[in-house]
Structure 1
C-alpha cells in the first residue's frame, strides 16, 4: 500500500470502507496528507510513521466511508440561481397554480425587475396543457416574467417579457429554436430550444456579481451537505458565448478560499475552439479545471424535439421524428478537430437516432492522446442522457469506449410518458442501465440539476429499484430487469463520473495518490434494504482533505 515517510494530517477509521468498484465494504483506515490520500489499508495495519503528534484520528464506527459523490452532469449557474432568493422553483398543479406561485417572488424582488422561475412541466399538470402568455399577462401586465420549464428546454414568457426582449410576430428564431404561434399567427409566449437558450443570458443579466456569488456559495453548501465533492459543470447552451459556464464566479470563490467543490468545466464546442484553451490556461489548480467540450444533438422526448428514427407513437404530424439541433455533418465537423487535438466531447443525445448518429461520429473520431500526456488516463467521449436506444447501439457504445452519462431520476420524471410518446416496442430500450453494464459500458451518474434535485441517494435509490424516489412508484419498478446493484450505482456516481470528467485516477476511488474527497454515510446503505436506501444520511464530507460539512 506504499511506504509513507511522514505523519498524516488525518486518519479515518471505519468498519465499512467502500473503496470503489464492485467489492463490498470492509473494515479500513484512510490516511490523508494535505489534499491527497497517502495510505489505505486495514485498521490494525496503520504504519507507525503515519501517526505523528499532530495527526488527528476519526473513527466513524459502522458508518460507510466512500469516495465523494461526483455529479457528472449539472448546470451550476441555473442550479444556484433557482435555489436562491433571486428566483423560484416549482412544478405547479396547473397553469393557474404556477402563476399564483410567483407571488412571493414578486413581493421580494424590486419593482419592474424580472420574475424568473423554473420547474413547470405541462404534462404533469391537471389538465396537461401548454400554457400561454395570457395567464401571465392577467397577473403581471407591466412586469416581465420568464418561466423556465423543468426540462430546461422551453421558456414561457408574458407580453411584457416579449416586448422587453424585442420579440415580435415578425421575429425569426435562431436555427434549432422556435417562437410558438397560435392559429391566427399570434405569439403564445412559448419559446423553445435554441431560441430559449439565446434569451436566457439577457434575462439574468440584471443580477449582480455579489448576488450570484451568494447563490454559488449557498449551492456549494447544499452540494456538500448531500455528500457531493465534485461536479461537471456542462454547457446548457448550444450557441456562441451562451454556455453559462461561469469560470469568473468559480475563480473568485477559489481566490477567496471558498471553493468547496471540485469543478470540471465543459464549455460549448464551436468551430472556434479557443474558449477551452483559454479556460485551461487560466485555471490550473486542482479544484477548478476545464476538461473538454459539450454540444447538443437534439432536444427532449416529451416535447417531440428528441431525434428518433421512427415517428413518435403520438405523432403530431406525418413524419414526426423530432429533429437534430444541427445536421450530423455539422456535428462531425465540430467533433473531428476537437478529438484530433485530444479534447473529449460530450454530446446531449436523447433520441435513438441522435445516439446512433453520435456513435457514428465518435467511432470515426476517438479522442487522440494529448501532446505530452503519456501515462495519463485515456480520454473518452461521452453521450449525455441516452434515453432510448436502437437495440444494437447498446453493445456498440460499450465497444467504442464511449461513456454513458445518465441521470437516474429522469426515468420516473414523466410516468407513462415513454409509453405515450414512443410506444411499447421502444420502451424496453430506455435507460437500460443493467444491459449497458453487462455489455461493458461505463456509466456516469448525475442529476442534470436543476432538472432534478442534487441528492445522490435519491438517484441511487432510483437506479437500484427503478422507482421514483419521492412517490415510490411504480410498485415493483419500471423495467425492473434494468435494476443495478448498490455497489454498481455508487461506482457510477464516483469512478464513472470521474471518467466522464476526464479525471480517472485523480478522483473517484479511495486509493493512494488520489485527491482526498470522501463522504461518510450512516446508516451504512449496504446494511439497508433497497427500499430504505434513502435513510442513509451524510455525516461528513471532505474535499481536498478538509471537512467541508458535518452533520
Structure 2
C-alpha cells in the first residue's frame, strides 16, 4: 500500500459516515488533511482534480477514527515498554515522552485517533507539550489534570486553577480536571444506597461503600472552583448514591456561576438512579456521561457478583442514556480494559461478560445498543465529550480526515465477529499513520 499525499481519493468502499442520518457513502475526497467531499465513487472521481492520487478500497469498510474519552494513555505506553504502568506518575519527562510515542503507535494500530488522558500529572502535561511542539504528537489528546486517586480537595482544586488555564488546539488541549468521588467496584468501595452483594446472590452485610475524598462534604466546593475557572469537571462515580450527590453538585455550580455548554462529566456512571437520569437529562449540554462499555466484558463477572442480580440489569444503561438524550461517550479505561475499541463495540451491543460465571446475560439485553449506536458512542459522541464534534468524529466535509479502514463490514457481521476485526489502515489529518502493508 503506497502512501498517498494528503490530497487523495478513497473510492469503491463502504464508508460509514456517522453523520446525523448515518449515511453510507462510497468515496471521500481529502485535501490538505481535511475531508472535502463525500459521496459516490463516480461523482467524487469525476469532479476531482487530475493531480489527486486515488486509492481503491476494493469494497472495504471505512469508519471515522475511534475516539477514547477516558483512558490512561501514558500508563498504557509504559506497559508496552515493559515497565510498571502503576508508576507512570513517577517517571521523568523523557521517559514519559517515550511511553507516549509507544502508546500512540499502539492506539493507531487499533484505530484510535483521539483520546482523553484522564488524570495527567505536571510531568505528563509537559511531555505532551514537548511532543506537540516537535510535531511528533499526532494522536489528538485532550488532557485532564489529575487531582483524583483519593486526593480530591478544595486545596488541590485551587492549586490546579492557579497553575493552569483551559486551552489548546485541535491536536492538544488541556481542558479539564479529573476528580475522584468513590473508588473501585472490585473492592466494593463505591457509595451505594443498598448493601453490596458478593458472589452474586449473597449480601455483604452493612457494607454500603462510601466516598474516598478527604472531605466529602466539600466536594461541591471543588466543583464550583473548577467550574468558575472554565474547566470541564470530570468526576469518577460508580455508586448510585455518589452519582446522585455529584449531579446535584453540578447543578449547584451552574446556578452559582451560570455557564452553558459546560459538559461536566460523570465518569463511569455505573449505577445511575432514575433521579440521576432525570437530572442528567435536565442539565442537557452542561453534562455528559463517559462510560466504559468494555467493563461489561472484561469485568463482567466481578461487576455481576458485586452488584447482584437486580442491580446488574441497571448497570451502564446505554440504551436508556440514548433514549433520554443524555450525551454518552466511551472510554477503555486502561488497564481495567483493553484499548481495542472492538471490545467496547461488542460489549455495548451484547452486554455479555467474557467468562460468564453467573450466566451469559447477567446484565440482560434491554440496554443493548445497535451496532450503529455503538459506533456513534465510540466516535462522534466521544468527540462531543472533548468539545471536538465539529472537527472529528464523523466523515463529513470540513472535518479532519481521521479515518480507519477495517478488514470486515462492521454493520453486517454477527456480534461475535466484531472481536476478530483488524485495522488495515489508520489515517490522521489525511496522513497514513498505520498500515498493515508497512
The normalised TM-score by structure 1 is: 0.69
Q: 5 Å matches for 1:330-349? A: 330-349=218-237
- 1:12 corresponding residue in structure 2: 10
Query: Per the alignment, in what secondary structure is the counterpart of residue 337 of structure 1?
Result: helix
Q: Deviations over 1:295-334 (max 9, x none)?
A: 1111012212211123324566645432242545422112
Query: Per the alignment, in what secondary structure is the counterpart of residue 526 of structure 1?
Result: coil
- 2:27 corresponding residue in structure 1: 29
Q: Please, which of 330, 333, 339 is the counterpart of residue 454 of structure 1?
A: 339
Determine if the alignment matches structure 1 residue 325 to structure 2 residue 210. no
Do the aligned partners of 1:520 and 1:541 also contact (CA within 8 Å) in 2?
Answer: yes
Do the aligned partners of 1:12 and 1:59 also contact (CA within 8 Å) in 2?
Answer: yes
Distance 1:34 1:16 in 2: 23
Q: Please, which of 372, 375, 378 is the counterpart of residue 487 of structure 1?
A: 372
1:327/1:429 Cα in 2 relative to 1: closer, same or farther (>3 Å)? farther
Q: Deviation at 1:273?
A: 3.5
1:526/1:232 Cα in 2 relative to 1: closer, same or farther (>3 Å)? same
Query: Per the alignment, in what secondary structure is the counterpart of residue 475 of structure 1?
Result: coil
The normalised TM-score by structure 2 is: 0.86
Q: Deviations over 1:16-72 (max 9, x none)?
A: 11111575552332222223222222322227664242x121121322211100011
1:529/1:25 Cα in 2 relative to 1: closer, same or farther (>3 Å)? farther
1:244/1:426 Cα in 2 relative to 1: closer, same or farther (>3 Å)? farther
Do the aligned partners of 1:14 and 1:27 also contact (CA within 8 Å) in 2?
Answer: no
- 2:161 corresponding residue in structure 1: 274
- 2:353 corresponding residue in structure 1: 468
Do the aligned partners of 1:458 and 1:469 also contact (CA within 8 Å) in 2?
Answer: no
- 2:276 corresponding residue in structure 1: 393
Do the aligned partners of 2:301 and 2:355 also contact (CA within 8 Å) in 1?
Answer: no
Q: Deviation at 1:221?
A: 0.7
Query: Per the alignment, in what secondary structure is the counterpart of residue 13 of structure 2?
Result: strand
Q: 5 Å matches for 1:95-114? A: none
Do the aligned partners of 1:267 and 1:275 also contact (CA within 8 Å) in 2?
Answer: no
| Structure 1 residue ranges, 4+ long, deviating more than 6 angstroms after superposition | 470-473
Q: Deviations over 1:66-95 (max 9, x none)?
A: 1100011011221111221223xxxxxxxx
Do the aligned partners of 1:344 and 1:379 also contact (CA within 8 Å) in 2?
Answer: yes
- 2:308 corresponding residue in structure 1: 423
Query: Per the alignment, in what secondary structure is the counterpart of residue 196 of structure 2?
Result: coil
- 1:287 corresponding residue in structure 2: 171
Q: Please, which of 138, 141, 161 is the counterpart of residue 263 of structure 1?
A: 141
Do the aligned partners of 1:541 and 1:550 also contact (CA within 8 Å) in 2?
Answer: yes
1:305/1:218 Cα in 2 relative to 1: closer, same or farther (>3 Å)? same
Do the aligned partners of 1:341 and 1:368 also contact (CA within 8 Å) in 2?
Answer: no
Structure number with greater CO (CA < 8 Å, separation at least 6) is: 2
Distance 1:67 1:43 in 2: 18
1:521/1:25 Cα in 2 relative to 1: closer, same or farther (>3 Å)? farther
Larger radius of gyration: 1
Determine if the alignment matches structure 1 residue 546 to structure 2 residue 424. no
Distance 1:470 1:259 in 2: 37
Do the aligned partners of 1:409 and 1:452 also contact (CA within 8 Å) in 2?
Answer: yes
Q: Deviation at 1:229?
A: 0.3
Q: 5 Å matches for 1:171-320? A: 200=87, 205=90, 207-235=91-119, 243=121, 246-268=124-146, 270-274=157-161, 277-278=164-165, 280=167, 284-313=168-197, 318=206, 320=208
- 2:150 corresponding residue in structure 1: none
State the superposition RMSD in angstroms.
Answer: 2.8
Query: Per the alignment, in what secondary structure is the counterpart of residue 164 of structure 2?
Result: helix
1:504/1:453 Cα in 2 relative to 1: closer, same or farther (>3 Å)? same
